[in-house]
Chains A and B, each alone.
Chain A
Amino acid sequence: MKEKDLKRAYNNVLSQVISSSHQYLFAGNLFGDIFVLSLKELDKGREEPPGKLKIFPQGSSVDINCLQFRRDFLIVGTVGVVYGLQWNEDDEVLSTKRSWEVKIPMQSDAVEVPDVNSLWLSPDTDTLFAGCGDGIIYQISLEDGRIERDYRGHTDYVHSVVGNSNGQIFSGAEDGTVRFWSTKQLEQTSMIEPYTKSQLLRPDWGKWIGSVAVNDDWLLCGGGPRASIFHLRSLESTCVFDFPGRVHVCDFVDDSVFIGGEHNHVQSYTLNGMLQANIPIEHTACYSTVWQTAPIKFMSI
């Protein structure tokens, strides 16, 4: 079997992002390719045949762990480095030259180059938060590419980093904890450990937290333990979702909760835990979703 067929058979999309013009979808996979799809092509009402998916390889031994989009830059997080690629919307060409790159510093006791597992872009301050394989979250200023500070505390690698507009950062990690950080404080502000709660623990699947999502009052997290909603101030679990697989993605969509992971379906629940939708997927596991409501309402899984 040729290499291309192998890649097709075992393709594994790790990350997706929509361009700021809401017209293009970017997806990165485990083999270091970035796919670009014009969302207009998906509109079934159009007569034209769908254009070809554009593929921009980034090198054979890098994984595209996470993607973000800022103005006309695609921000790519791979192994040990975060870099920006210029996206030329008119020609639909992704620049092959890195416009900038920020190297994640190696810790003195580290044996491996840390992965950049998760990126969260603070929309107000042009700050990028990168959750990395060494368990540290780096705060990177996009103005000058400087690493402004780091958040230490996780004992294993970080799966997911998100924040809200109040300057709070939330991170879920392989060590099973969800830690709350503030940009103004050095230490973590608080921490929850879902695996310690008996109604959440699934012993065979470990304690890791695969994904974290927040809105103004609530925090949603899941992984090895069941996905569950916590209240941000009381830190109490209010609702448990019975997703039948390991959780790799979860998020708030409108007034419902969306959960995906190592299961052949992704599911959507209401906020009080009722199953709303059960969507079959092609791949063994789902690692990323993006959606938008305007101008084209769509969700990519």
Chain B
Amino acid sequence: MEAILNTQFQQLEDIIGEILKVKKSGHNSETLRTAAALKFVALKHANREVKHKIKSGRDNLHLEKCKVDISRLQLQNLLYEVSHLKKDIVRCEKFKSRDSDLDLLPDTEYATKLPSIAESKSEPESKHLKHLQRLECELRLRKDLDKQYSFLLSSKQELLQENLNQNQRYVSFAPALRTLKGATKPLHDALQLSLDVEWKLSAVVKYLPKPLYILFINLQSLQRASDEPSFNAEVVGYESEAQMQELTNLKQMPTARRDYSEKDIELSRKLTSVENPLDKALNPHPLHIRVTLGASGSIQLVLLIRYFDLLKCTTVWPQLSVSNNTNHQGDTNFVQHLLRHLFANDLGNEIPIPGIQYDLQNKDLTPEQCIRYLESKDFGKAYCWLQSMCSIPTVDSSMLYKHELNLNKSMREIIARIKRRWNAWLKLSQQIRGLTNKDIDLFTLKENVYPAALSCSLVQWTAITLEEFLAQNSDVLNISPDDKGITYNSYRAVIVRGSAKMECFIRIPSNYPLEMPLWILSVHWNGRHTSQNNSAIKMMEYWTNSLQPKQLEANDRFLYAQLFRTIYSFDIFLETEGSMQTNIEYNKEKPYISAFAKRCRLRPYKYIKKGSVYAFKQ
């Protein structure tokens, strides 16, 4: 451009110089002037071009400037970002999640508590993700717990409020009762109710230890509720004694550590050396409860219930109270067993109080020692059922903890049970007495299902020892259930008809009526026949032993029914056997259709009665 301008200026200069020369020469310079003017046009053009170029250059410059500005701005931004990120990195590096302090659920529990999550993403990609998941779960669980907590808190508040209300009502109850009592006094007088007297009588009751008190109050309420009380409960002992013991108990507490005077020490030494240490430790509470079952005038069952402070349990000792002077030897033994088999696995062989052995250890005693002592002193046994009647929690031999709270129901049940057992036993002992003394008429008793006369007669019924009974080695004895602390009374009965004699060995279990008397038969007639060598006798024995109480009518006496079954079975045995004999000793008297049936030649022991027709069948 510059070159162009320079050339143009040069040309213009040249032209102007020529014009000057021409003018000087005086020549017409017209053409030259046109040429010069033209040169100005070109110059002008060049000038414009220059201007244009400058402008475009400026524009370009501006453009570039803008670009630089933008990139600079970006750079600034990036720098800022870098610094920001650096700061963040530092922060991140410094960051420490609080979750590491948290105790998370162990894996297994996590899987069980939130199985859906654990299953849906069975294999989370990284440990971190898994951790996060678990944290989330934790959060949810915690939120739940929080909800529960607040709920429980509010319910607690409500309960407290209710408690307060009830308390208020309770507090106001006594005065209300008192006013009621005062208000109804004239009514009592008018009705001639002597409530005051009754209350005074039972003043001694308040000295009863707590368990006995509960028992007594419950018994008394039961007694009052029933129309005709079948039992009678009373407190035995003196108020003064109870007061004395309470006082001594109080005294012993503070003086336990105080020095005794010489005399006292000597005295106490003498006492302990002479007496059994157990005597002192196992002193029953001076008051005890006496429960009498059965109508007065007949044989009554008396239960003496005592409480032992040290053992924290109650014991019961049963007694027979006989009003008339009949012979009841051996019966007392039975009475002991009556209570033993009241409930399964409750034989009273241990002290059923939880943790009692540790308590006793502190006093250098063992539970066995205590039980032996209680036994020797006739204080009886600490049965679980008795404790439950007194609302004492128990553990039985299989370490089962039990605390009876529905006292009313359980007590009714227990008493009904004792009564049932007692009545069953009374009936049984009456039967045994009747058989031993032979003051029963075999032919008129209603247990005799077979109306026509029996041909056999019972000639003897005696008590025998268990050894004598066991000498009859029968198969039945081998299949005896596991020993449950049952003891047996054995008897021998002899039944005679003509030349044939049958010996019956009867074993009566102590837990009658849970188990039935067992009969073992032995026939002496043309040799000795037992269930061991004669299948007919075996079936006869089965027929007698298979008799169950539910097959009898109400009020039937079981032992008699068994006896009759045995007797007519024996009759039938002799008569069927006799039918084959050459010299017939026994004729057919019983109504049976056929003497034998089936391949095993069963004899018709079964008695069938249809209307007025009766017969014996196989």
Kindly provide the distance from the CB of B169 to the nearest chain A CB, expressed in whole angstroms.
Answer: 55
Contact A117 B526 (CB under 8 A): no
B251 contacts the other chain (CB 8 A): no
Q: Return chain A residues, CB-CB under 8 Å to B481.
A: 1-2, 5
- Chain A contacts for B187, CB-based, 8 A: none
Let me know if A264 is at the binding interface, CB within 8 A.
yes
From B479, B533, B597, B600, A248 is in contact (CB under 8 Å) with: B600
Query: Is A184 interfacial (CB-CB < 8 Å)?
Result: no
Distance from B469 Cβ to chain A, minimum over Cβ atoms (Å): 14
Is B345 engaged at the interface, CB distance under 8 Å to the other chain? no
Q: Please judge, given known A-B contacts A1-B545, A3-B548, A204-B526, whether A10 and B599 are in contact too, CB under 8 Å.
A: no
A14-B600 contact in complex given A1-B476, A1-B516, A112-B617, C-beta closer than 8 Å? yes
Residues on B with C-beta less than 8 A from A246 are 601
- Nearest-neighbour CB distance to chain A for B479, whole angstroms, equals 5
CB atoms of B597 and A224 under 8 A apart: no
Number of A-B residue pairs with CB-CB distance less than 8 Å in the complex they form: 92
Name the B residues within 8 Å of A210 (CB-CB).
599, 601
Query: Which of A156-164, A266-274, A293-301 makes up part of the contact surface?
Result: A156-164
Q: Is A44 an interface residue (CB 8 A)?
A: no
* B602 neighbours in A (Cβ, 8 Å): 30
Between A6, A117, A248, the greatest number of chain B beta carbons within 10 A of the residue's beta carbon is seen for A6
Residues of B within 8 A of A65 (CB): 598-599
Quick one: given A117-B599, A204-B580, are A284 and B533 in contact (CB under 8 Å)?
yes
* A287-B600 contact in complex given A10-B538, A10-B539, C-beta closer than 8 Å: yes
Residue B518, interface by CB 8 Å = yes
Interface range, B side: 20 to 34
Q: Which residues of B contact A233 (CB under 8 A)?
A: none
A285 at the interface (CB under 8 A from B): yes
Write out the residue numbers on chain B whose beta carbons fall within 8 Å of the beta carbon of A49: none
- Assess whether B541 is interfacial by the CB under 8 Å rule: yes
Task: Tell me, in angstroms, the Cα distance from A206 to B584 when the chains sit together.
Answer: 12
Contacts of A45 in B (CB 8 A): none
A208 at the interface (CB under 8 A from B): yes
Q: Is B276's CB within 8 Å of the partner chain A?
A: no
Q: Nearest chain-A residue to B548 (Cβ)?
A: A3
Q: From residue 599 to 618 of chain B, which have CB atoms closer than 8 A to chain A?
A: 599-602, 617
Q: Are B582 and A9 in contact (CB under 8 A)?
A: no
Output the least CB separation between B544 and chain A (Å).
Answer: 10
Which A residues from 1 to 55 make CB contacts under 8 A with B?
1-3, 5-6, 8-10, 12, 14, 30
Shortest CB-to-CB span from A172 to chain B, Å, is 10
Q: Mark A274-295, 1 if CB is under 8 A from B, else 0.
A: 0000000000110100000000
Query: With A2-B481, A284-B533 as given contacts, are A14 and B598 in contact (CB-CB < 8 Å)?
Result: yes
- Using Cβ atoms and an 8 Å threshold, which residues of chain B touch A14? 598-600
Given contacts A1-B545, A133-B597, contact A8 B479 (CB under 8 A): yes
In the complex, which residue of chain A has the Cβ closest to the Cβ of B538? Answer: A284
Expressed in whole angstroms, the Cα–Cα distance for A61 and B475 within the complex equals: 24
Are A157 and B597 neighbours in the complex by a CB distance under 8 Å? yes
Determine if B600 and A5 form an interchain contact, defined as CB atoms under 8 angstroms apart: no
* Cβ–Cβ contact A2 & B580, under 8 A: no
Q: Shortest Cβ distance from B580 into chain A, in angstroms?
A: 4
Interface residue B457 (Cβ < 8 Å from any Cβ of A): no
A157-B545 in contact (CB<8A): no
Per-residue contact bits, chain B 493-532, to A (CB 8 Å; 1 contact, 0 not): 0000000000000000000000110100000001000011
Question: Which chain B residue has the least Cβ–Cβ distance from A8?
Answer: B479
Note all chain B residues with C-beta closer than 8 A to A133: 597-598
Residues of A close to B596: CB separation below 8 A: 157, 174, 208
Give residues of chain B (534-553) contacting chain A, Cβ–Cβ below 8 Å: 534-535, 538-539, 541-542, 545-546, 548
A6 contacts B580, CB within 8 Å? no
Q: How far is the CA of A203 from the CA of B581 in the complex (A)?
A: 7
Any A CB within 8 A of the CB of B593:
yes
A205 within 8 A of B: yes
Closest residue on chain B to residue A210 by CB atoms: B599
Interface of A with B (CB < 8 Å)? Answer: 1-3, 5-6, 8-10, 12, 14, 30, 63, 65-66, 111-112, 115, 117-118, 133, 156-157, 159-160, 174, 203-208, 210, 224, 246, 248, 262, 264, 284-285, 287
24 A-B interface contacts by CB (under 8 A):
A1-B518, A5-B479, A6-B546, A9-B475, A9-B476, A10-B539, A10-B545, A12-B538, A12-B600, A30-B602, A63-B598, A65-B598, A112-B594, A117-B599, A118-B599, A157-B596, A204-B582, A206-B580, A262-B534, A262-B535, A284-B531, A284-B535, A284-B538, A285-B535
